[in-house]
Structure 1
Amino acid sequence: FRIMRRKRGAWMNKASDPVLEFLDEHGIAAPVSVFDIELDPSRSSISRAVDDLEAYGLIERPPDYNTHFQITDLGREYLEGDVDATNLERDDVGDA
């Protein structure tokens, strides 16, 4: 990953990038409990990161798995350094 090129948003926390990286590397949809087991940040940091990443469109819930999350194309573009997260707009309307 080109971490130095990423343009993080002020809304992001220390769990934001690890969650995106995990989903991108494994190519799966996963529940928050997997992030709690696999990643170092605290459960509360991971939970907040997941809520924010979904609200900003970097991850999404697959149609048939409301408790799972997968990375979006926008999330992959952010990891590549092609998206400035400070310019993204929050959308809380899609919350389930």
Structure 2
Amino acid sequence: MENISSFFSNIWSLIYSKHEQGLFNTICLGILLGLPLLVLFALLFVCCHCCWSRAGKTSGHSERNKKKKKKKKGEEDLWISAQPKLIQLEKRPSLPV
């Protein structure tokens, strides 16, 4: 128990001595002590966001599968041809020379 209290008293004496040295040291020390808290809050936010968005996607995904339309016999599949430039050249009107 004495080790823990001496640890915190040493940290407090360091903070107090840096505060006495000037405003710049106080600001830098505040930023350095605040960074772990900022990282902790960011990780907490990311984890909560991932958990909540994953729960929403699973329920929406099953509804989307139910609403898929079946392809009619007369419909063609859309696909990209192997030679798209040739098709574009055929559709382009020729320029008078």
TM-score normalised per structure 2: 0.24
Bigger proportion of residues as helix: 2
In terms of Rg, which structure is larger? 2
